[in-house]
Amino acid sequence: MRFPKAKPASPATRALQVVPPSGPTAWLTTFTAGAMTFLCVFALALSLASGRLADRWSEALAKTATIRLSAPAEQVQLQTDAILATLATTPGVASFRLIDEAETRALLEPWFGPGLPVEALPIPRLIELVEAEPPYDSQGLRQRLAAEAPGAVLDDHTRWRRPLAEAAGRIRLLGVLSIALIGAAMAAMITLAARAALATNSQEIRVLRLVGAKDSYIARAFVRRFTLRTLGGAAVGAAAGMAGVAALPAADAAGGFLTGLGFTGTGWLWPLALPALAALVAFLATRRAAFQKLRELT
């Protein structure tokens, strides 16, 4: 008898499944990864949509306010001129403009239909102004308008846009937090599944240790398997989630927040990154669990 000579392992030998390929935790890992990634896609969509909304509102917040003038017909032009003169001398006002009848008609058209006789209706005259940096003193402006044009009301959009923008920002934060929690929950589930798999295969692990396997070799077998299972499950979950988001109604100009829920442009790349991220989470969670459990088992 002669002892076999060793040579570097071929890819087939390296890929040898030294732990049994199936087990009760196999489906659990794949299912968990799929379900969590599916949820993650929606959390991501919510977060991105909230971000867009917050940006839009913040942008609008930084721009405009409106002065609404309701006055007797013979006073309208007089007070309009007074308002314009006041604005021209107000520090903190970057620009202002009188909204003409055509523009007013366009604004009202969605509610009253085309061909509205604006000139025959007691519709307030609107003046749009844009804040400068630093902004104007709204309280001071109100007092001056009250003195110069008693029918003028400063409609400061910031008073209602700011809380909405803040709310949108919070929703974005909640979305990010949800993604983090989903990731943590997935890591916990995969850790449990990995520990269960290691415990189930304790006999095989003892055999491997007995023939000289290092912990890193045994861990590698489990880590590889759980990472691939997670990657597969997460890919299916991400695809299903993206299909679900794509099936949501498209955002339009008149649409609200819900119709704007989804991905736009390069935003579609984010959910594509989720399977890789899930696989990374599985890799780290399984590796940590494997080394811990191996120290307990042998």
Q: Which of 121, 147, 207, 246 binds other proteins (CB under 8 A)?
A: 207
CA separation for the pair 275, 252 (Å, rounded) = 30
Which of 36, 48, 43, 44 lies closest to 182 in space, CA to CA?
A: 36
Enumerate residues 214-243 that contact other proteins by CB under 8 A.
214-217
Of 172 and 225, the one with the shorter C-beta distance to other proteins is 225
Structure-token match 């008149």, residue found: 254
- Out of 111, 247, 253, 295, the residue judged to bind other proteins by CB under 8 A: 295
User: Binder to other proteins among 4, 110, 113, 117 (CB under 8 A)?
Assistant: 4
Nearer to other proteins, 217 or 268 (CB): 217
Instruction: Tell which residue, 39, 285, 288, 280, has the closest CA to residue 181.
Output: 39
Interface with other proteins by CB under 8 A: which range of 13-21, 88-96, 146-154, 237-245? 13-21
Number of residues that bind other proteins (CB under 8 A): 33
The reply on whether position 8 binds other proteins by CB under 8 A is: yes
**Binds other proteins by CB under 8 A, chosen from 127, 186, 213, 235:** 213
**What are the backbone dihedrals phi and psi of residue 105, each rounded to the nearest 5 degrees, phi first?**
-60, -40
Does position 254 interact with other proteins (CB under 8 A)? The reply is: no
Helices (DSSP H) in 211-297: which residue ranges? 215-246, 269-297
Q: Answer yes or no whether residue 14 interacts with other proteins by CB under 8 A.
A: yes
* Count of Cβ atoms closer than 10 Å to residue 56 Cβ: 14
- Tokens standing for 17? 């499944």
CA 285/CA 291 separation, integer angstroms: 10
Binding to other proteins (CB under 8 A): which residues in 18-37? Answer: 18-21
Q: Which is nearer to other proteins, 5 or 122 (CB)?
A: 5
Whose Cβ is closer to other proteins: residue 148's or residue 215's?
Answer: 215
Q: Which residues contact 287 (CB under 8 A, 6 or more apart)?
A: 219, 223
Which string of x and - marks every residue 145-184 that binds other proteins (by CB under 8 A)? ----------------------------------------
Q: Does 114 bind other proteins (CB under 8 A)?
A: no
d(CA 163, CA 51): 14
Contact call for residues 94 and 131 (beta carbons, < 8 A): yes
Is residue 11 within the footprint of other proteins (CB under 8 A)? no
Residues near other proteins (CB under 8 A): 1-10, 13-14, 16-21, 203-204, 206-217, 295
